[in-house]
Structure 1
Amino acid sequence: MKIAFVNWRDPWHPQAGGAETFAWELARRLARAGHQVWFVTARAPGQRGKEVVEGVRFARMGATFTVYPLVLAWLLVRRGRFDAVLDCQNGIPFFTPWVVRRRTKVVCVVHHVHDRQFGVHLPGWLAAVGRFLEGPVSRWSYRRRPSVAVSPSTELAMRERLGWKGPIHIVPNGVSVADPGDVARSAEPRLVCLGRLVAHKRVHLLLDAVAELRRHRPDLQVDVIGRGPEEERLRARLPEGVTLHGYLPERDKSRLVARAWLHVSASQGEGWGLSVLEAAALGVPTVAFDVDGLRDAVRPGETGWLLPEGADGTGLAKGIAGALDEVDETYSVKCREWADRFSWDRSAERLLAVLEGRAPGERSSDLGEWAGEER
């Protein structure tokens, strides 16, 4: 097939995150399987407009907002070329059904529903526009098209909050981490927070919790790994014991995570929680809030702890303190077993099944059992 992955950014964009990892890992596998794959996306300063990476053809154009009309125009000119379009929704989708042929297979890929996050990142009027596009306009545009959600939480949010009526298939993230080498868990209690530094990740709640935690564990150390628009503000208020590393190469990141006792996510909500599985693959359990996506990625009592949403820094500190008292090697074993159930190869199989009109479970029954179990 000739397939276009339409995504807001590519994995080398300065603001890339889990959605870009998802699109790239699946695109490169479909190209490796013999399909002709294009990755159509925004162009950050310094990036080439066109190039080929691992058999995937990149077409980059536009910035944060201009990428949408430019991509639609690009597809309109080539509307007869593609057999399938993967329309990745990052707040709002690209509305590609408007410009491709009716017989072109369009699959809307939804990582998480953004309705509550628009107000965190945008002024009120623009947040209302975002919710209108994500809800009624998207629901109408994709009403006859199959969709993909990355977790049961996302599927439920699409049904209940967006009123989505069409078929939704679950294709979760895989997980891959660099080999950390011979790294042992730190002797002193150590936390790690992994992910983009954006407002809805609420890293400030972890910083608020550190002083209380260090009252009882003065040797506690915290590593924050990631970059994003909140970095400068967070760096200006780092408490003692916290190191903000910014971007790290994959092996360096794995080495730091592997040393931690716990991974902490204070996010307001995720599609899945890729960082949770990356930590789990290295044997590190997660403390997170009981919110969309993270409640799918964390198995309470086995691979981590879920705290009631709405807690502040003090509540987060209490949850982390309790987890530090409980964590042992059993959690590490369970974490690795859980992470082993997910792979990008199996996710690519499931996505290809959707493109071919088959039920994804036909080729990945183990993942189907996981989705059913979670419900």
Structure 2
Amino acid sequence: MRSSDTPGRHVLFLNWRDTGNPEGGGSEVYVERVAAELVSRGHRVTVLCAAYPGAAGEELTGSGVRLLRRGGRHTVYLRAAVAWLAGWLGLGAVARRPYGMPDLVVDVGNGLPFLCPLYTRRPVIALVHHVHREQWPVVLGARAARIGWWIESRLAVRVYRRCRYVTVSSATRDELAGLGVDPARVTVIHNGTPELVGRPAPRATEPTLIVLGRLVPHKRVELALRAVAELAPRFPTIRLVVAGQGWWEERLRQVAGELGIAGRVRFTGYVTDTDKHALLSSAWLALTPSLKEGWGLTIVEAGAAGTPAVAFRSAGGVAEAIRDGVTGLLAADEDDFVARVGELLADDVRRLAMGEAARAHAATFTWPVAGARFAGLVTVLAGEPVPAPATARLAP
């Protein structure tokens, strides 16, 4: 908790989505868990994010975080700027009681940042989970990908050049350095490990793999399907659970059919925390074939359930979420990924030992530690003088 002589601050997070959004993922979990920790330390927190069907425009979470949903998937960026500028006149949602205008803004960049230094003179923290260089061509067409990458790698670096950065792994800090961001301005604050809910399920009797997360192209669930198809002759009872939802599910079902493994794959759709715990604890291995992750939250979630993971060495923060050879394995390429999965499925002793090591590793990451580090930055930065808006700094 904050000390009695440290005033609470109003912290505004600008984030693309919230955890209730059907497309929400690890980034949203991080924001809301850190926000809840800030509230527990006496701060007031607002998260401005995109609206979605069925969601209230304003909501107070059980942890005391105020959610404001404005705009949609693409227009939330403009609505954030409008809300802020209207707030200077006392008219906007950001300025509405009971919190008043924010003392500090956390601008969360999920590929596209909010670029809020262009319109605010409040202190800004740029929160970057990972750099999206490899993901732009997968998510968008070639021309749009070039524009997105230019915004992320050139424009954003210039706009935030006087701001403090926070990221979730040393790998992302190194990537930001490659874009010209001074590592001295980047603070690494790891994810905590979400608490397990409900009773664990017994370990499955047959070789069972799980992929947990949003079903979108850059998560590359196809590679998990390929692994099942190639390993089926060695492990005749092998199964794969695909836990999560997303617009790419229909294509994944088609791929499973094309590979002749539809009967071996179970698509669960959305899973509750209780179901997630049961699925993770019953699986033999958790697979993370994602192209890039800032951290690898699902890896440590699986570790907390005693389940080791296999991922790609080149996928950013997963190389820190997994201790290679201790809590799981990191693959060099797609063929190596399949080989690593087969290696652990065939070695019960090693796999179980890795699961116990993964459990101990996951326990070292906690949300209170992450929240305390973030709160320290808020206390320091909210009291610093702020330079003129970035519009003036961008003038030639």
The alignment's TM-score, normalised by the length of structure 1, stands at 0.91
Map of 1:297 onto structure 2: 321
Q: Distance in 1 between matches of 2:28 and 2:233?
A: 39
Give, in whole Å, the separation in 2 of the partners of 1:241 and 1:56.
Answer: 41
Aligned partner of 2:274: which letter? R
Runs (5+) with no aligned partner, structure 2: 1-8, 89-99, 382-396
Q: Residue in 2 aligned with 1:95?
A: 115
The amino acid across from 1:8 in the alignment is W
- The structure 2 residue matched to 1:74, chosen from 80, 83, 98, is 83
1:171 is matched with: 189
- Could you tell me how far 1:220 is from its partner in structure 2? 1.1
- Give the C-alpha shift of residue 339 in structure 1: 0.4
Question: Deviations 1:29-67 (Å, cap 9, x if unpaired)?
Answer: 212222111110100112111121232222111111111
1:366: which partner in 2?
A: none
CA distance in structure 1 between the aligned counterparts of 2:52 and 2:197, rounded to whole angstroms: 30
Give the Cα–Cα distance (whole angstroms) in 1 for the partners of residues 174 and 245 of structure 2. 30
User: How far is the alpha carbon of 1:19 from its aligned partner?
Assistant: 0.5
1:153-192 matches, within 5 Å, as 153-160=171-178, 162-165=179-182, 167-192=185-210
**Cα offsets for 1:211-249 (capped at 9, x unmatched):** 221101101111110111211111233213111111111
CA distance in 1, matches of 2:154, 2:210: 39
Please say if residues 134 and 291 of structure 2, whose CA atoms lie closer than 8 Å, have aligned partners that are also in contact: no
State the match for 2:17 in structure 1: 9
Q: Distance in 2 between matches of 1:37 and 1:29?
A: 10
- Which residue of the partner structure matches residue 380 of structure 2? 357
Deviation for aligned residue 1:315? 3.7
How big is the alpha-carbon RMSD for the aligned residues of Structure 1 and Structure 2? 1.5
* Correspondence 1:296-335 to 2 at 5 A: 296-309=320-333, 311=334, 314-326=335-347, 327-335=350-358
Equivalent residue for 2:43, pick from 32, 35, 46: 35
SS of 1:63's equivalent in the other structure is coil
Q: Which has the larger radius of gyration?
A: 2
Tell me the CA shift for residue 82 of structure 1.
1.3
Q: How does 1:186-225 map to 2 (within 5 A)?
A: 186-225=204-243
Q: TM-score, normalised by structure 2?
A: 0.86
Counterpart secondary structure, 1:346: helix
What stretches of structure 1 of length at least 5 have no aligned partner?
359-375
Paired positions, count = 352
Separation in 1, partners of 2:194, 2:87: 34
Deviation, structure 1 residue 332: 1.9
How far apart are the structure 1 equivalents of 2:355 and 2:343?
17
SS in 2 for 1:127: helix
Within the candidate set 50, 61, 72, 1:63 is matched to: 72
Q: What is the CA–CA distance in structure 1 between the aligned matches of 2:371 and 2:252, rounded to whole Å?
A: 36
Does residue 83 of structure 1 match 2:103? Answer: yes
CA distance in 2, matches of 1:50, 1:29: 20
Deviation at 1:180, TM superposition (A): 4.1
The amino acid that maps onto 1:43 is A
d(CA) in 1 for partners of 2:218, 2:201: 31
Using the TM superposition, give the Cα deviation of residue 9 of structure 1 relative to its aligned residue in structure 2, in angstroms: 0.3
Give the secondary structure class of the aligned counterpart of 1:328: helix
Poorly superposed stretches of 4+, deviation over 4 Å? none
SS at structure 1 position matched to 2:242? strand
Q: Note if contact 1:307-1:316 (Cα within 8 Å) is conserved in structure 2.
A: yes
- Structure 2 counterpart SS, 1:193: strand
Q: Is the 8 A contact 1:180 1:258 kept in 2?
A: no
The share of aligned pairs that are identical, in percent, is: 36
Q: Higher relative CO (CA 8 A, sep ≥ 6), structure 1 or 2?
A: 2
Partner deviation per Cα, 1:108-167 (whole Å, 9 max, x = no partner): 00000012211111111211111111011111111111000110111011111x221360
